[in-house]
């Protein structure tokens, strides 16, 4: 696999990180660099670590992982999106909503949900050299980190400057990402388009 292909693959995997980071930035409504970097590091690490798992497992569990990964992503993202929508409609104090958007548990769950697609990528690299695979993992991690930072910045800006309930929009986006992942993996998206 050549360098350009690896970079394009890294960008494709990072798109869910970007979209979820935008919704997190919307929830933050202010630049909290510690939180933004914490999320970006988690996203980068999980995106890079997941292909490593399947690369080691080889073909042994390929069918089992592919059978369930889209269901797991759908459930996690619909749950988190629904919670975000509920929070956007409640009279809960803004500071409580802010804290719930940045706690470690929420960020780790989001990192897992956005990296499940990357889990299957380990199978793509089984026939590649170890050097190529390591380069791919590093690129996947770096690109996911950068897209997460950019998404958070864009989300904070949108949350501050757009006169609509951006938490509601963010929750809808998370649910839409979960549905998109599910439709892509089941082949229903290609039938619709």
Residue 180, in any domain of the structure: yes
Tens of pLDDT along 14-73? 888 888 888 788 777 778 888 889 999 999 999 999 988 888 876 566 666 667 767 776
Q: What is residue 181's predicted lDDT score, i.e. its pLDDT? A: 72
The label of the residue with tokens 């299957």 reads 120
Residue 146, in any domain of the structure: yes
Residue 24, in any domain of the structure: yes
Residue 77: domain span: 3-188
The label of the residue with tokens 């749950």 reads 79
Residue 31, in any domain of the structure: yes
Cα angle, residue 89 at apex, residues 84 and 90 outer, rounded to 5°: 95
Residue 68, in any domain of the structure: yes
Q: What is residue 100's predicted lDDT score, i.e. its pLDDT? A: 47
- Please tell me the total count of domains within the chain: 1
Tens of pLDDT along 92-144? 544 444 444 567 888 888 888 888 778 767 766 776 788 988 999 999 999 99
Residue 51, in any domain of the structure: yes
Q: What is residue 135's predicted lDDT score, i.e. its pLDDT? A: 94
Residue 67, in any domain of the structure: yes
Q: What is residue 93's predicted lDDT score, i.e. its pLDDT? A: 45
Q: What is residue 31's predicted lDDT score, i.e. its pLDDT? A: 83
Residue 193, in any domain of the structure: no
């Amino acid at each position: 696999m050549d360098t350009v292909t690896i970079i394009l693959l890294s960008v494709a995997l990072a798109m869910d990180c970007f979209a979820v980071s935008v919704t997190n930035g919307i929830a933050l409504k202010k630049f909290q660099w510690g939180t933004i970097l914490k999320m970006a590091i988690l996203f980068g690490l999980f995106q890079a670590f997941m292909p490593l798992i399947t690369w080691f497992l080889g073909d042994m569990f390929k069918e089992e992982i592919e059978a369930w990964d889209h269901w797991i992503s759908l459930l996690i993202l619909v749950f988190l999106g629904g919670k975000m929508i509920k929070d956007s409609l409640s009279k809960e104090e803004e500071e409580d909503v802010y804290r719930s958007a940045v706690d470690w548990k929420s960020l780790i769950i989001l990192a897992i949900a956005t990296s499940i697609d990357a889990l299957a990528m380990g199978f793509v690299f089984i026939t590649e050299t170890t050097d190529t695979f390591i380069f791919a993992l590093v690129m996947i991690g770096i690109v996911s980190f950068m897209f997460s930072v950019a998404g958070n910045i864009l989300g904070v800006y949108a949350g501050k400057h757009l006169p609509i309930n951006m938490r509601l929009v963010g929750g809808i986006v998370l649910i839409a990402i979960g549905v998109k992942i599910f439709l892509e993996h089941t082949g229903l998206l290609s039938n619709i388009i």
